[in-house]
Structure 1
Amino acid sequence: MKLNFALFVTLTVTTLLQAQQINPLIVEDEYASHKRWVDSVYATMSLQEKDGQLFMVDVFSSDPASKTDKVKELIKNNYIGGVIFSKGGPNRQAKLNNEFQEISKIPLMIGMDAEWGLAMRLDSTFAYPWNMTLGAITDDRIVEKVGRRIGEHSKRLGVHINFAPVVDINTNPKNPIIGNRSFGEDKENVTRKSIAFMKGMQQAGILANAKHFPGHGDTDSDSHKTLPTISFTKMRIDSVELYPYRRLISEGLSSVMVAHLNVPSLEERTGLPSSISKTIVTGMLKGELGFNGLIFTDALNMKGAADFKQPGEIDLAAFLAGNDVLLISEDIPKAQDLLVNAYREEVISEERLARSVKKILYAKYKVGLHSYEPVTTSYLYEDLNSVVDAALYEEAMAASLTVLKNDQAILPIKNLEDKKIAYVNFGDAEGNTFLTQLRMYTAVDHVTANSLDGYIEKLKEYNYVILGFHRSNDNPWKDYQFTDKELVWLYEIARTNTVILDVFTRPYALLDLKSTANFEGVIMSYQNSDMAQQLSAQLIFGAREGSGKLPVSLG
């Protein structure tokens, strides 16, 4: 028994030490030159320059010169370490990126939120499926290919870190900010998809970022607007919300973003945001999980953090909690002054400052900033919108299509000579591409009416009704629910007709259905893109299979 216990202790300690020794920012086969570059750069830096490296400021490439010039002043006068680009266009961003890099003494780390591709922020760029759609795919190799391609796009545009994947486990259907950005509600599936996406991006030379630590998936409020509370026990958080982080860290995750959340079971101080909790950032993320990569705060101008402390003070608190990079500070000059004073007053030690600054420099070397090259704009649009992307998007969307109900093998529709088929469009978006593709197989009439009685009367002459529910595909936050009128009409049409319901929005739309007993077929197509509509029509007539699996439960 004693030998067994001793062996257990030895293995446990060894495992912890090994976890602590993983450094995802090291280029292993270049370690000597890597370390030499970091040490040499650090040795030349003043205190202000070191503190400046901790800041990543946001900018829109669509901003007027009056705003972008302020960023240039921060680069010159405050020595900021990075820029996170938001809305704009690829050519404008490339040009601005080159201008910023030219005036920076130490090359800037460039970041973006490109969760489903650069199109999350930029016009004229490619949009891949939302995470919820990818969560339905059973072949994780497709997700890895998507991650890699998004990484290649990022690299082409001079971006070094993509703040993705979202690893939140969306166990709350009413979550207003995560939802479609999550791979789903099952921790195993979310973890597998997150690892695949991360590996793909990091193979392309882009730093991945798991967010929003310690878990934003079960909230009913938005940390951009308030401080959400996570009321679960530590045991529950450890077994569910932290599960993906453990696995990703063991697979070489580059960075983590810490959310602004109130988590009473993890932080005893009432209302203290997780982003400035030393217990959560240093104790849990660095200590218990053994994470040695870069740690970013979520944006410090979000209400979840900004309402707790004044600008500048929140930055100092975040650094003292253990964060390395202070994202979107509201007042960098003030925050930098506070950090400098804290160092001089020995509140911040040289060891603590060096740890974060050198991690940032190690990351910069890893993404190639020790030999920086400007972004070329020749064929930029073509490189970011290629036939490779169109083919991969089709592959991903096809693999996500999910048949939820197929009574009496109604799908695929057969014996077309005996069928008279109507198409009815519900929702606030068009289904023209869907209808056009349906008509490639047989005659399909588009039936419209201004009242339920009108629909019932017109549909009497049809023996099949394909009802498409189409909601906007502009972004994953768009409304996805049926209206009360649509629900009443849907039930009545299904009661009096043979109906195939095809849903072109997030799965949670089906939670509003009290019953699907009268629907012979139900298909989840997840998004209302032209490709999703084409593929779903092909599935209805047997040209495609529905191999997807629902990533959330619908009761």
Structure 2
Amino acid sequence: MSDKTLPSSRSVDLTAAPFHLGVEDVEWVRTTIDSMSLPEKIGQLFVNHNAHFDNAYLDRLVDEFRVGGIRHHTAPAAEVSAVVRRVQERAKVPLLVAANIEAGGDATASEGTLVGSALQCASAPDLTASRRMGFVGGAESAAVGCNWSFAPVVDVHYNWRNTVIASRAFGDDPDVVIDHARAYSEGIRDGVAERPMALCAKHFPGDGVDERDQHMVTSVNTMTTAEWDNSFGRIYRNMIEDDIASIMIGHIALPEYSRQLRPEIDRILPATIAPELADDLLRGQLGFNGLILTDATHMIGFTAALPRRELLPAAVNAGCDMVLFFRDPVEDLEIMRTAVETGVVSAERLDVALQRILGLKASLGLHRAQIAGTLVPDDDARAVVGCDEHRAIAADVADQTVTLVRDTGVLPLDVDTHRRIRLICPPDLLRYGAPPSYQGAMRAELEAAGFEVEDYPPALPKSFAEILDHVGSSNRDFGKSCDAAIVVAGFHGIGRQSSVRLAWSMPFGPEMPWYSAEVPTIFVSLGLPNHLADVPMVSALINAHAPTPEVIHAVVQKILGHSEFRGSHNNKVLCGLTEIL
């Protein structure tokens, strides 16, 4: 076996970036590891997804599973804070507490502030929106005890059909991604102030090149090594130079680099279990000294690669220091314990992983905060979650980022000449066909502006005969009964289909824009930016990015001409249809 095929036990320097530990902190790391039993060491490798909040479950996480970190499911702020406090007070070693702070504080607490997606913030005239999104997300997350941001997302939206990161990426240009990720990171640091928060760039080696979703299949970054170096390689070099504390590895293959780094390779694997990518490329070539963790290990892009008894040790041996989420905690812990006891994962490799895990905790001062009893803020700190100041920021970001992609001259609408509006909200089939939650808010805003609003269709056909009756109805009748149509869609999609496109209730469904040549038809997306591909016939298309009250208010004001469209868009939003604009 050549040296290059040995499991990664590359050494770590805890005094260097991104840890910057002093002598006493390094000593805490070393003595804590030395005092641990093997089950305690194994538990530190895992980040649990807290979907349950009952005390018995939480106590088992700490007492039996001994996890190194948690990422809670969104819940009311008081409940999240209580969960974090219970596990932190019970844990021997303080826990990393993560949140997906990709759009503000909404993924931390259910009443948190959704400021805007990465794409939305990058649609603003400058970097301020991205910085403020990070600020709000950091402040609201820290207020309930979080200390680890699973962001910034530094993927690049190269393929307009890729919808898993279409809204989550800052754009389709590496320089744009670098600038906005840096602004976001500065905002996080400003927002948390006295409570340090680690950042985690994701998803190495880079999503957005193919159109598939790693939640369902191992996706493939098909770039050549030179293309990758000038794109994702440059992005991650910048993140590392900026002291990013951790990097999340995706279940994404990078075949050209795998073959270059290890010519003898006989199977291309996702980066999470590919040592040539996690170790040779990220650790060696890019010089990353921080913590590496896997993306969620119940995603099929990971689980379908190998049997789980091989997968988990393979991820650690490839260079991953932490494993994101159990599939079954008892089974997963047993797999890792057996791997260490049999030497599949060496004691040296385990020790290096633990140094990075505890080194990250020490860099945040968690060991000192544990002694001081300040790991979780007091209850009054939660006043910042969803506060008026943060809602005002969200409103300002909405005003800056609502983007007019296409207009044939129909805007602005005049209430006097277009008073009668048919509001059409196709059901989001990825949300199990539930009526859109934003429909009522959109109707209320339009009515407040003076429009007469009718939801259309009043009822969906129940049989094919009713569909044919609808198809045979008079176009002129539609035009006589309304002055304009506004179609509002809030499609999002992760983990159910790879490339999400606009979907209607049924073939030839009555809400489909068959009427676009009869009355002015305005299409508003409160979600994905790729709908121009499916509705190029509309009179105007607006990408508004998010279904928040602030965004919906801004949309109506801009439709009326009371506020100018200030957002911009990248070329991927055009879906290759430049000839129609």
Category of TM-score, reference length = shorter chain = 0.7 to 0.9
Whole-angstrom distance in 2 between the partners of 1:437 and 1:488: 21
Amino acid at match of 2:61: V
Correspondence for 1:100: 87
Classify 1:369/1:487 alpha carbon distance in 2 versus 1 (closer, same or farther; 3 Å).
Answer: same
Correspondence for 1:8: none
Could you tell me whether the CA contact under 8 Å between 2:457 and 2:510 is conserved in 1? no
Whole-angstrom distance in 2 between the partners of 1:485 and 1:187: 41
Structure 2 residue aligned with 1:302, among 289, 299, 303? Answer: 299
Classify 1:522/1:477 alpha carbon distance in 2 versus 1 (closer, same or farther; 3 Å).
Answer: farther
Whole-angstrom distance in 2 between the partners of 1:74 and 1:87: 24
1:148-187 equivalences in 2 (<5 Å): 148-175=135-162, 177-187=164-174
Whole-angstrom distance in 2 between the partners of 1:263 and 1:332: 27
Could you tell me whether the CA contact under 8 Å between 1:169 and 1:187 is conserved in 2? yes
1:512 aligns with 2:534: yes
- Report the secondary structure of 2:399's partner residue: helix
Whole-angstrom distance in 2 between the partners of 1:449 and 1:45: 64
Correspondence for 2:477: 457
Deviations for 1:158-206, whole angstroms, at most 9, x for unmatched residues?
1111211222212233335333222232332223222222222234221
Whole-angstrom distance in 2 between the partners of 1:21 and 1:107: 20
Correspondence for 1:12: none
Correspondence for 2:420: 422
Whole-angstrom distance in 2 between the partners of 1:313 and 1:304: 15
Could you tell me whether the CA contact under 8 Å between 2:340 and 2:347 is conserved in 1? no
Whole-angstrom distance in 1 between the partners of 2:300 and 2:454: 47
Comparing 46-55 with 95-104, greater Cα deviation is found at 46-55
Amino acid at match of 2:60: K
Structure 1 residue aligned with 2:442, among 409, 428, 434? Answer: 434
Correspondence for 2:280: 283
Correspondence for 1:470: 488
Could you tell me whether the CA contact under 8 Å between 1:134 and 1:396 is conserved in 2? yes
Could you tell me whether the CA contact under 8 Å between 2:164 and 2:493 is conserved in 1? no
TM-score of the two chains, using structure 2 as the length reference = 0.79
Whole-angstrom distance in 2 between the partners of 1:406 and 1:20: 55
Correspondence for 1:348: 346
Whole-angstrom distance in 2 between the partners of 1:174 and 1:243: 24
Q: CA deviation at 1:310?
A: 3.6
Deviations for 1:213-260, whole angstroms, at most 9, x for unmatched residues?
101223333323332333333333333343422222222212110111
- Report the secondary structure of 1:181's partner residue: coil
Could you tell me whether the CA contact under 8 Å between 1:164 and 1:211 is conserved in 2? yes
Could you tell me whether the CA contact under 8 Å between 1:401 and 1:546 is conserved in 2? yes
What is the aligned-residue RMSD (CA, Å)? 3.3
Correspondence for 1:230: 221
1:68 aligns with 2:41: no
Could you tell me whether the CA contact under 8 Å between 1:175 and 1:219 is conserved in 2? yes
Q: CA deviation at 1:546?
A: 1.1
Q: CA deviation at 1:90?
A: 3.0
Whole-angstrom distance in 1 between the partners of 2:305 and 2:354: 26
Correspondence for 2:125: 138
- Report the secondary structure of 1:150's partner residue: helix
Correspondence for 2:114: 127
Q: CA deviation at 1:480?
A: 5.8
Deviations for 1:20-64, whole angstroms, at most 9, x for unmatched residues?
99612226xxx34433433443454455544443222222244x5
Whole-angstrom distance in 1 between the partners of 2:491 and 2:108: 15
Unmatched tracts of structure 1, length 5 or more:
1-18
Could you tell me whether the CA contact under 8 Å between 2:106 and 2:114 is conserved in 1? yes
Comparing 331-340 with 395-404, greater Cα deviation is found at 331-340
- Report the secondary structure of 2:404's partner residue: strand
Classify 1:380/1:436 alpha carbon distance in 2 versus 1 (closer, same or farther; 3 Å).
Answer: same
Q: CA deviation at 1:413?
A: 4.8
Amino acid at match of 1:384: V
Correspondence for 2:189: 202
Correspondence for 1:265: 256
Amino acid at match of 1:363: L
Could you tell me whether the CA contact under 8 Å between 2:159 and 2:209 is conserved in 1? yes
Correspondence for 1:3: none
1:25 aligns with 2:47: no
1:403 aligns with 2:404: yes
Could you tell me whether the CA contact under 8 Å between 2:216 and 2:495 is conserved in 1? no
Tell me the matched-pair count: 518
Could you tell me whether the CA contact under 8 Å between 1:94 and 1:377 is conserved in 2? no
Identical aligned residues as a percent? 22
- Report the secondary structure of 2:554's partner residue: helix
Could you tell me whether the CA contact under 8 Å between 1:426 and 1:486 is conserved in 2? no
Deviations for 1:442-489, whole angstroms, at most 9, x for unmatched residues?
555547567575564253487x62x32222478878966153647995
Classify 1:365/1:441 alpha carbon distance in 2 versus 1 (closer, same or farther; 3 Å).
Answer: same
Could you tell me whether the CA contact under 8 Å between 1:146 and 1:197 is conserved in 2? yes
1:388 aligns with 2:378: no
Could you tell me whether the CA contact under 8 Å between 1:227 and 1:273 is conserved in 2? yes
Whole-angstrom distance in 2 between the partners of 1:86 and 1:448: 35
Could you tell me whether the CA contact under 8 Å between 2:115 and 2:136 is conserved in 1? no
Correspondence for 1:218: 209
Correspondence for 1:540: 559
Q: CA deviation at 1:358?
A: 2.2
Whole-angstrom distance in 1 between the partners of 2:558 and 2:362: 48
Could you tell me whether the CA contact under 8 Å between 1:137 and 1:399 is conserved in 2? yes
Structure 1 residue aligned with 2:358, among 358, 361, 364? Answer: 361
Correspondence for 2:573: 553
1:525 aligns with 2:544: yes
Q: CA deviation at 1:150?
A: 0.6
Correspondence for 1:113: 100
TM-score of the two chains, using structure 1 as the length reference = 0.82
Whole-angstrom distance in 1 between the partners of 2:106 and 2:396: 19
Classify 1:348/1:167 alpha carbon distance in 2 versus 1 (closer, same or farther; 3 Å).
Answer: same
More helix by share: 1
Correspondence for 1:14: none
Unmatched tracts of structure 2, length 5 or more:
1-12, 259-264, 427-435, 459-469
- Report the secondary structure of 1:266's partner residue: helix
Could you tell me whether the CA contact under 8 Å between 1:402 and 1:546 is conserved in 2? yes
Q: CA deviation at 1:74?
A: 2.9
Classify 1:504/1:102 alpha carbon distance in 2 versus 1 (closer, same or farther; 3 Å).
Answer: closer
Instruction: Choose between structure 1 and 2 for higher RCO, CA contacts under 8 A separated by at least 6 residues.
Output: 2
Whole-angstrom distance in 2 between the partners of 1:235 and 1:121: 38
Could you tell me whether the CA contact under 8 Å between 2:185 and 2:199 is conserved in 1? yes
Classify 1:103/1:339 alpha carbon distance in 2 versus 1 (closer, same or farther; 3 Å).
Answer: farther
Classify 1:455/1:538 alpha carbon distance in 2 versus 1 (closer, same or farther; 3 Å).
Answer: farther
Structure 1 residue aligned with 2:502, among 469, 472, 481? Answer: 481
Could you tell me whether the CA contact under 8 Å between 1:26 and 1:34 is conserved in 2? no
- Report the secondary structure of 1:209's partner residue: strand
Correspondence for 2:433: none
Comparing 450-459 with 217-226, greater Cα deviation is found at 450-459
Classify 1:286/1:21 alpha carbon distance in 2 versus 1 (closer, same or farther; 3 Å).
Answer: farther
Deviations for 1:43-90, whole angstroms, at most 9, x for unmatched residues?
54455544443222222244x555434313334xxx432222234443
Amino acid at match of 1:337: R
Whole-angstrom distance in 2 between the partners of 1:533 and 1:425: 13
Comparing 200-209 with 172-181, greater Cα deviation is found at 172-181
